[in-house]
Structure 1
């Protein structure tokens, strides 16, 4: 390149790359922990929502995970095939699918309780630092959500 690169276009100066590469590494740290549970990272996210409140709809879980319901269907079918959840059509509205934890799904919660401490240790941050970072990211997500 004959002219010096624009500072604003250097990869190491990009927030988007810092977020992307950090997300990739975070998922890699989670992978062996979740393999012990028999879950992928997206399945783990879905199970966390269900552990917070059993008997929610596909629409509710998709809202919590910021994804569209159609992309969740294959993931939820796998969780059902693994015996962790049941999917039931609502008696009030056939279009609505309700999700319920099975006994195995509830038992998995106990095994998953060790995951957050492992992640905290891997970050080498204090709980306060991690909380602050999470709050800043949630705020950023909110601002970006307004822009799209």
Structure 2
């Protein structure tokens, strides 16, 4: 499965963008596609935080359990998940850009089973739509941070 990359420049400092974009407690209020988030671990959000996210994808609700597998405030975090025979990683990098922040997301899916490998070929035409959905998430974060 090919990776995809989307980015947005947000008119706010890196630290603020990082704090908002990693605050799983507000995601359902900020990102329209996310219906709910259930945090599965105690304590502040950070390395090892696990949560269950339900979002609308391709017109259907999909629930996945994810974990912060890297958490390097304020410049980088990685969300990992394993589902339907694939390992998924969403890599977020935050860099200063003028007076604001460039928020970049790289989404990677690695098929682990034969069935997932077959489905990854079938799903290639949907990668543009996946990119549009990821871009919409970043647009929502941008709008929230800048409001």
TM-score by length of 2: 0.31
Larger radius of gyration: 1
Determine which structure has the larger helix proportion and give its number.
1
Task: Select the structure with the greater relative contact order (CA < 8 A; seq sep ≥ 6).
Answer: 2
TM-score by length of 1: 0.30
Determine which structure has the larger strand proportion and give its number.
2
